[in-house]
Amino acid sequence: MRGMNAQDKASKPRVVLLGTGGTIAGSGTADADVGAGSAAYQSAVVTAQDLIAGVPGLSALAELRAEQVFQIDSADFTDEHLLRLARRVAALCRQDEVDAVVVTHGTDTMEETAYFLHLTVPTDKPIVLTGAMRPGTALAADGPANLRQAVAVAAHASSAGRGVLMVMNEEIHSGRDVAKVHSLRLDAFASQHGALGLVVEGAPRWYRRVERPHGAASEFDIDRIDALPLVGVVTSHGNMRAEIYDSWAALGARAIVHAGFGGGTVPEYLKAPLAELRARGVLLVRCSRTGAGPVVRGASIDDDALGWVVSDDQNPPRARLLAALALTRGGDPTAVKRVFLRY
């Protein structure tokens, strides 16, 4: 990663650990049966520095220093938290004395943070997110192993230029594809196109790359983003009401992600109300609530005539973020359509 001379090549990579809270920083109460189920615990109480101290052998992998950016449950993450974290990560990546960044994060919204950093931090330096499904006080806590593997991946020269990564349960996922797919199990994360690689005997072993632009190749530089436009998400179910979409418009949403059935289907009884919203300037992004597979433009719905956008293969949470980023560059549907096909 940094390698200007023999001394540099022999030295350990310099990695900054940014703590944001979450289960990995959680602790069980004295009377909780954390060994069996680990469901009774308090999130976000262990500091980033203490996380480092609790994992043997980390100092052999990298020269580490810790910063506590937040200490919150990831369910409490807002767009302001995303912007603040991305700015800090970008600032660290600009420093010559920083080779990589690891972010410890709660698992509820870690996929959203990973995707946002993937698109907004203009660097090829490794950025790795990790977390835990069980607090450190649980009998079979996964946080220490996840953190050790995340640091090992971040410190490895082969991790550069691959976009933002997530390391969980010995798997290496891309911030573009990964999603939380189970509420409790240790293998709670999966990517619809498969993991990028595995952590094997303490080192990354790669099997694929992400082809879509990211990092320095992305047009969304965090240093040029002051705020994110409001984008709502509405998940389809039987007996939908158009007023749900109207409420987002009333709040000032510039776009609404319609997490539709199957391939992003819009019920017939919603088409006229949603077309009216588009006429009022609110963009509609058709997405699938299934969590995998592309939404095909013009399939069963004339998206061009309605001025609607399709999400390609992005799930609703990531479609919300990509729509918001696209809207920072303007609200033309053609331009937003290009963004979804490119990223």
Instruction: Return the pLDDT at 199.
Output: 98
Which residue type, as a one-letter code, is found at position 39?
Answer: A
Instruction: Return the pLDDT at 331.
Output: 84
Task: Check pLDDT > 90 for residue 37.
Answer: no
Least confident window among 33-47, 99-113, 134-148, 164-178: 33-47
Instruction: Return the pLDDT at 3.
Output: 40
CATH code of the region 11-217: 3.40.50.1170
Cα 62 to Cα 12: distance, rounded to the nearest angstrom: 5
Cα 25 to Cα 106: distance, rounded to the nearest angstrom: 8
Tens of pLDDT, residue by residue over 243-282, are: 999 999 999 999 999 999 999 999 999 999 999 999 999 9
23 included as an active-site residue: yes
pLDDT category, 39, cuts 50, 70, 90? low
The mean pLDDT value for 213-218 works out to 97
Of 225, 95, 111, 76, which is closest to residue 103 (Cα–Cα)?
111
Other Cβ atoms closer than 10 A to 49:
15
Select the more confidently predicted residue: 38 or 81.
81
Task: Check pLDDT > 80 for residue 89.
Answer: yes
Please say whether the beta carbons of 178 and 131 come within 8 A.
no
Tens of pLDDT, residue by residue over 276-318, are: 999 999 999 999 999 999 999 998 899 999 999 999 999 999 9
Q: How many CA atoms lie within 13 A of 50 on its CB side?
A: 12
Q: Which of 20, 23, 109, 130 is catalytic?
A: 23
CATH code of the region 229-342: 3.40.50.40
Angle between helical axes of 333-342 and 316-327 (0-180°, round to 10): 130
CATH 3.40.50.40 in the chain: give the residue spans: 229-342
Please say whether the beta carbons of 149 and 57 come within 8 A.
no
Of 53, 23, 21, which is closest to residue 38 (Cα–Cα)?
23
Q: What integer best gives the mean pLDDT of the chain? A: 94
Cα 88 to Cα 133: distance, rounded to the nearest angstrom: 25
Share of the chain above pLDDT 90, in %: 91
Instruction: Return the pLDDT at 232.
Output: 98
Please tell me the total number of residues recorded for the chain in this structure. Answer: 343
Of 45, 160, 57, 147, which is closest to residue 102 (Cα–Cα)?
147
Task: Check pLDDT > 60 for residue 8.
Answer: no
Element (H, E) at 96: none
Entry pTM: 0.94
From residue 174, how far is each of 61, 109, 164, 214 by CA, in Å?
22, 15, 6, 11
Instruction: Return the pLDDT at 161.
Output: 98
CATH 3.40.50.1170 in the chain: give the residue spans: 11-217
For the record, the structure tokens of 276 come out as 């009216």
Tens of pLDDT, residue by residue over 127-163, are: 999 999 999 999 899 999 999 999 999 999 999 999 9
For the record, the structure tokens of 139 come out as 């009998």
Long-range pairs, 204-210, Cβ under 8 A, ≥24:
204/152, 204/153, 204/156, 204/158, 204/159, 204/172, 206/158, 206/162, 206/172, 209/162, 210/162, 210/163, 210/174, 210/176, 210/177
Instruction: Return the pLDDT at 38.
Output: 56
Task: Check pLDDT > 60 for residue 6.
Answer: no
Please say whether the beta carbons of 259 and 236 come within 8 A.
yes
Instruction: Return the pLDDT at 91.
Output: 98
Instruction: Return the pLDDT at 29.
Output: 65
Instruction: Return the pLDDT at 40.
Output: 80
